[in-house]
C-alpha cells in the first residue's frame, strides 16, 4: 500500500530454518491474540553471504515456531517491507544519511508495529527507512539478494516478491519519492538490479524467485510504464502486475489503471490486485471483473458479499492471505480465532499464507504458520494442501509449475494427481 507523504511518495500497506525476525507468541489468556514483544533467545552465528558488508550476522532461534518444517510457497511479500534492519543501518552509514537510531535494536523499535493500528499509520512506517535504500544501486541489489537468503532460511522453495520500481528510483519518476534529490537511477534500472540480486540468490540458495511489479492506486500516471516494464522483463524474472494502495480510489475515478490492466491482458501478463483488505467487497468485484485479476491480494472483505464469495469459490480464485499483517494493519479482528481464513479453510478455498511486510511486522513466515496452527486450527494436512494450491496458482509457466508441484508432492510424500 502506498500514500503520499508531504511532497514525497510513501509506501502504503514459520520449513527449514528460523527467520531472523521470529517473535515470542503468548496468548496471555486473551482470545487468541499474540504478544508481539521481543524476548531473549538462543542465537547462532552464520557466515554472511556475498553482498553483505558484515562478516557475521546473528539470528534468533525459536524452534517452537516451526510447525511446518517442509518446503513452502509464498506469493504475497513486498521487497521493500522485507529488508534487514542491519542493512538499513549499513547503507545509511555508507551514504551519510542520519537515522533516529544507530543500533539494530533501536531502529527495529522505531520501524516495527507492536500493536494494531490504522492502515494509514502502518503505511507511514515505510517513511522511516525507504529514503535510505531508494536511489542506491548497491543497496537495491543487496536487499534482493538478502531477501532470497532469508526466505530460503524459512523453507520457502518458490517465492513471488513484489515491489514498485518507481518507489526505488530517483529519476524518470514524478514525483521523486521519499524527498530524494534527483539522481540517475530510473525505474527500468531498478528492475534490472532487483533481477540481478534475485538471480544471485537463486544461484547461492535453494530457492526460486519471480517478481511482480506494483502499480499504485494514487499514482495512475505510473501504471502504463509498469506494464511496459513487465513486458520488457517478462523473460528475465518478472511474471505479473499488481495494484496496491488506497482501495477507495477506484478505476472509474482513475481509468489509467484499467487501461494498464487491459494492456496486461492483451500482452499475456499475469495479474493480481490488492482488494478487500480494508475496502468493501465491491473492490474485489472490480479487481476480478474489470481488472481481470487472476489472484486477489488479501480479500478478507469478500465474505461480506456471500454471492460474490460463492462465485469466486466456484471460479477457484486464489486469495493471498497474510494473517499477522491483517491483524496489525487493522484489516481484521485482533482476535485470530475470528480470522476470515478460517472460513476459507472450512470451505476448501484456494489460498496461500504469506508475510506481506515482515520487517514492519517483525515477523516471519514461520510465525504466520504458527499463528494459523495455534489460533485457527490448522493442521499439517491443511498446510500441505494450501502450499499445493499456492503452487497451482503461481505465475510460473506450466512446465516450471509442474516441476514445483512435483517437488512439493515428493517432499510431502503425496501421490500426485494425474489431473493437473
Return the active site residues.
Answer: 277
Whole-angstrom Cα distance, residue 109 to residue 112?
A: 6
CA angle (221 as vertex; 166, 271 as ends), nearest 5:
75
For residue 225, list its beta bridge partners: none
The count of other CB atoms within 10 Å of the CB of residue 24 is: 17
The count of other CB atoms within 10 Å of the CB of residue 113 is: 20
Task: Identify whether the C-beta of residue 79 lies closer than 8 Å to the C-beta of residue 119.
Answer: no
Closest CA to 46 of 35, 36, 34, 59: 59
CA angle (127 as vertex; 95, 257 as ends), nearest 5:
115
For residue 257, what is its C-alpha cell? 489503471
Task: Identify whether the C-beta of residue 300 lies closer than 8 Å to the C-beta of residue 276.
Answer: yes
Residues 6 or more apart in contact with residue 294 via CB below 8 angstroms: 270, 271, 272, 318, 393, 395
For residue 304, what is its C-alpha cell? 461480506
Task: Identify whether the C-beta of residue 201 lies closer than 8 Å to the C-beta of residue 216.
Answer: no
Whole-angstrom Cα distance, residue 41 to residue 64?
A: 11
Amino acid at each position: 500500500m502506498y500514500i503520499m507523504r508531504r511532497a514525497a511518495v510513501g509506501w502504503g500497506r514459520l520449513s527449514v530454518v528460523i527467520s531472523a525476525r521470529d517473535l515470542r507468541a503468548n496468548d496471555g489468556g486473551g482470545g487468541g491474540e499474540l504478544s508481539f514483544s521481543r524476548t531473549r533467545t538462543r542465537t547462532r552465528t552464520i557466515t554472511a553471504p556475498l553482498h553483505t558488508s558484515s562478516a557475521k550476522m546473528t539470528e534468533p532461534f525459536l524452534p517452537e515456531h516451526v510447525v511446518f518444517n517442509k518446503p513452502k510457497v509464498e506469493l504475497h511479500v513486498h521487497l521493500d517491507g522485507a529488508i534487514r534492519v542491519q542493512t538499513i543501518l549499513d547503507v545509511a552509514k555508507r551514504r551519510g544519511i542520519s537515522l533516529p537510531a544507530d543500533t539494530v535494536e533501536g531502529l527495529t523499535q522505531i520501524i516495527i508495529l507492536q500493536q494494531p493500528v490504522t492502515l494509514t499509520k502502518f503505511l507511514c512506517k515505510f517513511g522511516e527507512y525507504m529514503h535510505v535504500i531508494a536511489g542506491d544501486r548497491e543497496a537495491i541489489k543487496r536487499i534482493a539478494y538478502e531477501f532470497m537468503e532469508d526466505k530460503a532460511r524459512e523453507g520457502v522453495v518458490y517465492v513471488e516478491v513484489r515491489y514498485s520500481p518507481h518507489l526505488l528510483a530517483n529519476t524518470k519518476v514524478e514525483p521523486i519519492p521519499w524527498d530524494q534529490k534527483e539522481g540517475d537511477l530510473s525505474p527500468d534500472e531498478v528492475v534490472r538490479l532487483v533481477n540481478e540480486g534475485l538471480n544471485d540468490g537463486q544461484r547461492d540458495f535453494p530457492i526460486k524467485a519471480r517478481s511482480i511489479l506494483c502499480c499504485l492506486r494514487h499514482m495512475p500516471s505510473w501504471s502504463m510504464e509498469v506494464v511496459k516494464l513487465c513486458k520488457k522483463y517478462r523473460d528475465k524474472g518478472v511474471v505479473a502486475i499488481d495494484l496496491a494502495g488506497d482501495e477507495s480510489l477506484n478505476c472509474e475515478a482513475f481509468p489509467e489503471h484499467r487501461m494498464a490492466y487491459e494492456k496486461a491482458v492483451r500482452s499475456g501478463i499475469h495479474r493480481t490486485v490488492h482488494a478487500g483488505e480494508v475496502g468493501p467487497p465491491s473492490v474485489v468485484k472490480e479487481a476480478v471483473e474489470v481488472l481481470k485479476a487472476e489472484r486477489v491480494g488479501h480479500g478478507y472483505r469478500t465474505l461480506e458479499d456471500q454471492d460474490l464469495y460463492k462465485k469466486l469459490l466456484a471460479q477457484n480464485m486464489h486469495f493471498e492471505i497474510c494473517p499477522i499483517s491483517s491483524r496489525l494493519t487493522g484489516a481484521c479482528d485482533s482476535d485470530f480465532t475470528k480470522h476470515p481464513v478460517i472460513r476459507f479453510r472450512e470451505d476448501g478455498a484456494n489460498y496461500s499464507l504469506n508475510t506481506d511486510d515482515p520487517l514492519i511486522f517483525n515477523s516471519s513466515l514461520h510465525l504466520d504458520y504458527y499463528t494459523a496452527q495455534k489460533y485457527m486450527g490448522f493442521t499439517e494436512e491443511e498446510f500441505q494442501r494450501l502450499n499445493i494450491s499456492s503452487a497451482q496458482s503461481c505465475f510460473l509457466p506450466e512446465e516450471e509449475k509442474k516441476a514445483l508441484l512435483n517437488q512439493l508432492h515428493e517432499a510431502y510424500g503425496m501421490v500426485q494427481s494425474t489431473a493437473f
